[in-house]
Structure 1
């Protein structure tokens, strides 16, 4: 079985206000890319991946006028994808939903959130992801309230072979320091937002431990916007949100595993894998980063899964096919990550 995570930059802008696909010459939200070009490129990428399920980060917006599930299923039908069934969890207010697009012949999936409203109960469950989490962010003996702007998607998946797996789709993001007018304000807000991001990862880690204690197979996948070299504040906090969710320093039986994270965080002289590529106007150059992960529980790791970053330059298979290479560059500023595993 092949599972994927893919952040599709402003997927929502490829549909009109009524949810109709805009496969035309109008500009998409990507620089110098038309909506038809982006949609066609996405069709090529999804077809080439041939995944059984794709966790889509920044899926089309869900609101009163248009629905994420209907838009994704229309996209799948237009490009003849076998991942033709869509699933949405909690909708959010950012126009960037987290959704699963999957092949119903290979698996069944349902949104199955767990947790308790607001207040955690020790030894029972952490709060639901659409509620709030209380933690002392500033070490001032006062509990701060943390919320997800994009609540993770919790999926109960059953494969055609009858294997049950829990999936958690994640888009953790530290807000830019909007409203700051001085260097001191920018620094203060940046640190405050990074603290909130780490708190969200601590919350997510609690959920991971709950699943592992229940002996459930688990895959956490998505965009963490965090990792080596992301910003100048990473050393201030000692460890990243990615390391927190993985359980980096915890016993092996409670750790999640992602080989790209292992390279990036464990071997400082190794070539750094990358899943995203951004153009920096002030530098006149591209910046690459490792932001997207597929983390698996120990029992799934024992099955010998194989990971792949569909990078147009770093992956030989992608580079050798010009149509796919160009499609990956046109479709999004992130590249898909897949894992192949016997489930």
Structure 2
């Protein structure tokens, strides 16, 4: 089976309030990209992926008038995708949901949020001492992770977690000191979310569950100066250590050598510097028991992956569709 994670930049902008696809000449949420161009590019990418399940990060909004499920169902129908079923978890107020788009002939999925010792439900509050003052601070997810119990057509049970960790920009800062203070506080919160997520993973592994974590952790080895301040990145916290460590070969490669070329899953234009920045932000991590099945990973990077580079239509679609690129996991299961 093939599992994928894909952060689609401003997917929500491609749909009206009834969930109908707006494949027209209006501007999408992407710079200088029309809704038609982005929609058609996404159709090309999703068809090429041919995944059994895609964890969509920044999925269309759910609210009083809008529905993630309606929008993704409309998208799947428009491009004839076999991933015609959608499941979501706790909605958030950011217009960027987390959803699984999957093939109902290949698997079934059920939203199953949990509360375990040391890890309350993801739509509630986690308390941890962030500033070392002996008083626990409340932490909440702006985008609560999506916890799913999945059963494949062969009867294999899996626990999937879709995650989108976020460190807020230092809004309200009035000077350089304010920027630094707020940035450090926000990074503390992101690391606390990673600790919360890892506590849930530990609970699942202790129950003998097979776990796949998919999503955008907005962090990676050596990504910024705060890593040296706090000692570890969010990625290292979520992966864990020892016999219960999750595995993602791209994260492992990046951790092994932080001054050599790194895998990348995203590409952003830095306007003040007139250049592109690439970063490893998107991951598919698997529990130790699944490693025995010899899984294979692929980043669908238009310049780094030979298949993507040799297919001009797919290469251009990947660049037009989003500022992130999909990551797939092929698993005999």
Shorter-chain TM-score tier: over 0.9
Q: Is the contact between residue 246 and residue 295 of structure 1 (CA under 8 Å) also seen in structure 2?
A: yes
Match of 1:204 in 2: 197
Match of 1:89 in 2: 89
Shift of 1:270: 4.0
Shift of 1:289: 0.1
Q: Of 145, 165, 170, which aligns to 1:172? A: 165
Match of 1:120 in 2: none
Match of 1:75 in 2: 75
- CA distance in 2 between partners of 1:230 and 1:175 (Å): 15
Q: Of 235, 244, 265, which aligns to 2:237? A: 244
Describe the SS at the equivalent of 1:231: coil
Residue 5 of structure 2 corresponds to residue 15 of structure 1: no
- CA distance in 1 between partners of 2:51 and 2:274 (Å): 35
Partner deviation per Cα, 1:50-102 (whole Å, 9 max, x = no partner): 00000000000001112101110110000000000000100000000000000
- CA distance in 1 between partners of 2:287 and 2:31 (Å): 38
Q: Of 122, 130, 136, which aligns to 1:137? A: 130
Describe the SS at the equivalent of 2:127: strand
Match of 1:185 in 2: 178
Residue 286 of structure 2 corresponds to residue 299 of structure 1: no
Residue 258 of structure 2 corresponds to residue 268 of structure 1: yes
Alignment TM-score, normalising by the size of structure 1? 0.96
Describe the SS at the equivalent of 2:252: helix
Describe the SS at the equivalent of 1:282: helix
Shift of 1:275: 0.1
- What are the equivalent positions in structure 2 for 1:271-282 lying under 5 Å apart? 271-282=261-272
- What are the equivalent positions in structure 2 for 1:1-343 lying under 5 Å apart? 1-115=1-115, 124=117, 126-247=119-240, 250-251=241-242, 253-343=243-333
- CA distance in 2 between partners of 1:232 and 1:35 (Å): 36
Match of 1:121 in 2: none
Alignment TM-score, normalising by the size of structure 2? 0.98
Shift of 1:262: 0.3
Count of matched residue pairs: 333
Shift of 1:261: 0.3
Q: Is the contact between residue 222 and residue 258 of structure 2 (CA under 8 Å) also seen in structure 1?
A: no
Shift of 1:231: 2.3
Q: Is the contact between residue 57 and residue 96 of structure 1 (CA under 8 Å) also seen in structure 2?
A: yes
Q: Is the contact between residue 19 and residue 65 of structure 1 (CA under 8 Å) also seen in structure 2?
A: no
Q: Is the contact between residue 18 and residue 70 of structure 2 (CA under 8 Å) also seen in structure 1?
A: no
Q: Is the contact between residue 222 and residue 292 of structure 1 (CA under 8 Å) also seen in structure 2?
A: yes
Shift of 1:16: 1.8
